[in-house]
Amino acid sequence: MASADEPGGGRPDLPEAAEPSVSPPTHASVRVRVQHLRERAERTRAGIEARRADSASIDTAFEAVERDAQSGGGVLAAAVAFRLFMFLVPYAFVMVTGFGLASTAAGQDPGDAARSAGISGLFATAVSSTSTPSLANRLVALVIGGFALALTARSLVRVLWIVHRLIWRVEPVRKPTPWAPLILVGFVTVLFGLADLFAWVGSQSFGLRFVAFLLTIVVSGAAWFLASWLFPRDQCALWALLPGALIVGVGVGVLQILTITYVVHVVTRKSALYGAIGIALALLLWTYFAGRLITAAISANASLWKHRTGAEAPRGDLLAPP
């Protein structure tokens, strides 16, 4: 009898255990996981909502979400986004073609322009021309673009006026000043100039990038605080406008980061496939996020003040044009 140490002797070789095969997830298993996540989210939401009576901050947050939904926040954001896009196109055209501003960004690749100058550089690239216009053509472009800019600025002011009325649920005692479109153009010019400056500061080092992010939050929040004070609202204290200013400030800072990271890739990919239409899609996406920030900020201010005072003004005929 052969021993275990001799060749051919001992126990026969056993086949190696086969690796367990992992089958790809089926549609049923994915559906079960999605349902499980949905149920968990519902339980979490129910648990948080049960604490509304004990927490003023949670109750105010729910009131802001409910006010935004009741006012049609998504639809209002889309309206603001469309008017904002229609305003920024002639604005960039006038600044680039009429006055020759942002010419450095206008001559760059769309992705490079978004990295160096943010959304203003992207708009400058979208409306730039490869040829150098003559003085006569520049004057004609300035007149036509200025007329379009005045119309779109007026339209944007009217939409923002109506959105504030609908969310605050007030009937303003005054109409927007005729100088409001010009004030809006000046506001946007200063903000875009500061945004370009902050983008340049942030490109110097990582530490300065964080400083630029903080400066963007402060400047954007301060600008929206002033705008909230000028647009229709309740006769509220100034501190009631701070939550919306904080939302817009942080949101614009995040949007700036998304612009120089995610939007750059979207623009680069879509502009290679669709040309100028791809850039327009990316700009429309950016303006919708901006519109959503605006409606969320107004809802937060109104909900906080109504919660604090416990009063709600009658809705009245809020859909009538100002």
Could you tell me the mean pLDDT of each successive run of 10 residues in the chain, 322 residues long?
Answer: 50 51 60 78 72 64 76 86 89 71 46 50 55 68 86 94 90 81 89 80 81 90 92 86 93 82 64 63 83 92 81 45 42
Q: Which amino acid is at 9?
A: G
d(CA 244, CA 63): 14
Give me the sign of the Cα torsion angle 309, 242, 182, 87: negative
CA atoms within 13 A on the CB side of 57: 1
Place of tokens 């937060």: 300
Q: CA-CA distances (angstroms) from residue 228 to 132, 272, 309? A: 41, 40, 19
The pTM of the whole model exceeds 0.95? no
| Model pLDDT, residue 313 | 45
The tokens for 106 are 């206008």
Write b or e for each residue in 268-280: b if 16 or more Cβ atoms lie within 10 A of its Cβ, otherwise e: bebbeeeeeebbb
Concatenate the DSSP letters of all residues of 45-97 into one string.
HHHHHTTTTT-HHHHHHHHHHHHHHHTTHHHHHHHHHHHHHHHHHHHHHIIII
Q: Which residues have C-beta within 8 Å of that of residue 299, sequence separation ≥ 6?
A: 64, 65, 67, 68, 71, 73, 167
- Residue closest to 169 by CA, chosen among 305, 295, 313, 69: 313
Write b or e for each residue in 304-314: b if 16 or more Cβ atoms lie within 10 A of its Cβ, otherwise e: bbbbeeeeeee
The tokens for 2 are 């052969």
Q: Which amino acid is at 214?
A: L
DSSP secondary structure letter of residue 236? -
Q: Using an 8 Å Cβ cutoff, are 185 and 191 in contact?
A: no
Q: Which residues have C-beta within 8 Å of that of residue 135, sequence separation ≥ 6?
A: none
DSSP secondary structure letter of residue 105? H
Helix axis angle, 135-168 to 276-309, nearest 10°: 30
| Model pLDDT, residue 231 | 92
